[in-house]
Structure 1
Amino acid sequence: MFTRKEKGFTLIELLVVIAIIAILAAILFPVFAKAREKARQSSCQSNIKQIALSLNMYSQDYDECFPAQGAVGTASTATIDSNYISADVNTPSWVGSLAPYMKSTKIFVCPTIGTGGKAIPVSYAANAYVLNTIASGLLKPTETVLIIDFPQVTTAETYTKIAYDITPNTGMSVHSDGANIGFIDGHVKWMKGSDAATKLVWKADGTL
């Protein structure tokens, strides 16, 4: 009686299989990475949308005035909403001012940037030119920056970011050579750094 001898893979066949897997991985990994970043970008846009909405809700409650920049705080000073800390409870940072309008502090963190190990992380910057100004006095609400991505994370217990201007070399490289931007009227969009640096309106009078 004859028995069939099982034939295994040869070394060459194994090497071919490994080579094919390596090629597929090289092709697919960038695709997966791009998809993950796209998801983070979408989540970031949602965060900015909620922050912009909260800033506008604040202005509606305070005679159309956006919150002030606020004082620099320390961990030993007054706590706002048990999370945000300001040097003066009467003049909290813009982040602290939004505490009553926020459900979670996670909204202040871009998923691409992360927490940076900060206790109370903030990775977005508010436009300093419109803080403490009257919303109805802004000439170009659909073009004026309210809140913007920033490539670094700070902590609300020491200070929170404000932005006066931005260039492709600073905050415009968070998401695929661009950043998410929230505008006065509440809409949010991604802009390429080279475009945003020259087309964004920062000042209340409608100038760049």
Structure 2
Amino acid sequence: MLPPNDARKERGFTLIEMLAAIAIVLFLASLLYAGVGPMLETSRRAKCAGQLRAISHAVSLYAGENNMNFPPSYGGVADPKHTWWWYNFDSPLAAYAGNTQTWMKITICDKNRSPAKVAASGVPGYPYAVNYNIMPTYNAQINFTVVKATQVSNPSRMILMMDSVKGDEWGWGFRDVAPEFKNWNRVSENHLGMANVLWCDGHVSAIRKSEVRSENCLIQ
């Protein structure tokens, strides 16, 4: 004789029970993300800072072999025949990073990468924004010239480059934080509301844009 059916064992989950279970899972997932998200972002910021330090090393090696001149952001500043941009494969800085492939990777923060080349930069992403007062570019209205390291009296307080924005507002660099220089909007607070800054002495720090002053950009 078969045992009687136990209705309680055969009963499935009710809709309310399933919704409650889903709500609990989503709540636990949100707690996990709240803890893991900032950790991942901190890791990205640290990687970005490491890339900036590697760029600083390449810049230092370049200066050591070029009469202590900082590299311009555009080669035409030093020689009209030079059409390279500082971050590209034909930049003289690439050789000091080991090889072209390595150089092309470290000049773009992970948050600004793109799976394909973008029209604004010509490379897979949006490279860091440089301080034009240290790494000058071509400008028909401004007589930019190559800058020597000896012209920077306080390199630990002078910006070399910073995190950049991506998209239509991206640009190679900036001149000052004052309102009349619109290209300050090219700098981004990429990492938890902070911007990674590479200073001329080679150290990297994370600060808010509002903390930057004109004296951090302009040669006195």
**Under TM normalisation by the shorter chain, which class is it?**
0.7 to 0.9
Distance 1:27 1:125, change over 3 A: same
Corresponding residue to 1:38 among 37, 42, 47: 42
The residue type equivalent to 1:61 in the other structure is E
Corresponding residue to 1:145 among 141, 151, 159: 159
> What is the number of equivalent residue pairs in this alignment?
185
For structure 2, the 5+ residue unaligned runs are 136-145, 179-183
Q: In structure 2, what is the equivalent of residue 126 of structure 1?
A: 130
Q: In structure 1, what is the equivalent of residue 85 of structure 2?
A: 93
Specify the SS of the correspondent of 2:54: helix
Q: Which structure would you say has the larger Rg?
A: 2
TM-score calculated relative to the size of structure 1: 0.76
TM-score calculated relative to the size of structure 2: 0.72
Higher strand fraction: Structure 1 or Structure 2? 1
Distance 1:87 1:17, change over 3 A: farther
- 1:109-166 alpha-carbon deviations (Å, 9 max, x no partner): 1101113732524420221111221112211110100121111269xxxxx7122124
Q: In structure 2, what is the equivalent of residue 2 of structure 1?
A: 3
Q: CA RMSD in A?
A: 2.8
Q: Could you tell me the percent identity over the aligned residues?
A: 23
The residue type equivalent to 2:197 in the other structure is I
For structure 1, the 5+ residue unaligned runs are 73-85, 155-159
- 1:89-119 alpha-carbon deviations (Å, 9 max, x no partner): 4x63333121211231111111011137325
Distance 1:123 1:116, change over 3 A: farther
Establish whether residue 182 from structure 1 lines up as the match of residue 193 from structure 2. no
Specify the SS of the correspondent of 1:10: coil
Corresponding residue to 1:50 among 42, 51, 54: 54
Establish whether residue 162 from structure 1 lines up as the match of residue 173 from structure 2. yes
Specify the SS of the correspondent of 1:189: strand
Distance 1:184 1:94, change over 3 A: same
Specify the SS of the correspondent of 2:84: coil
Q: In structure 1, what is the equivalent of residue 67 of structure 2?
A: 63
Report if aligned partners of 2:129, 2:187 keep a CA contact under 8 Å in 1: no
Higher helix fraction: Structure 1 or Structure 2? 2
